[in-house]
A = this chain, B = another copy of it.
């Protein structure tokens, strides 16, 4: 597969409004979006570093993967997302190599990206997301 770079880091937070000021005001990163991604059970504030984004992730409800992560591990870096040229090719290569994905097909993530997560047990403990950028501009809510 062809990896194009670190697309973003996902950070699990209890409350976006408590955590955004560090990234925004102390580090001076530009906030480039806010989005609710129902498929993933999260709302997110997105900050651009210039090379890669920081996405703060707050759970929409108790069934959200972020709520479960916070219960188990507390707030912190939840995953790293790598941009791929083609998600379908990437998923096929993962399966061919017996790398376990979470779900068999891509779903839709923030900013309309086509995404899939790789199970941490096959990556050495890291939750890795792969994401293909959508061809057309995704309309933000």
CB within 8 Å of B: which residues of A? 1-6, 9, 11-13, 18-19, 22, 26-29, 49-52, 54, 56, 73-77, 79-80, 82-83, 93-94, 97, 99, 120, 122-127
Contacts and interface: CB of A to CB of B under 8 A. Distances in A.
B51 A125 contact: no
A102 B53 CA distance: 24
A103 to B, nearest CB: 18
Contacts of A51: 4-6, 51-52, 83
Contacts of A77: 9, 77, 79-80, 126
Given A26-B93, A97-B26, A125 B6 contact: no
A30 B27 CA distance: 30
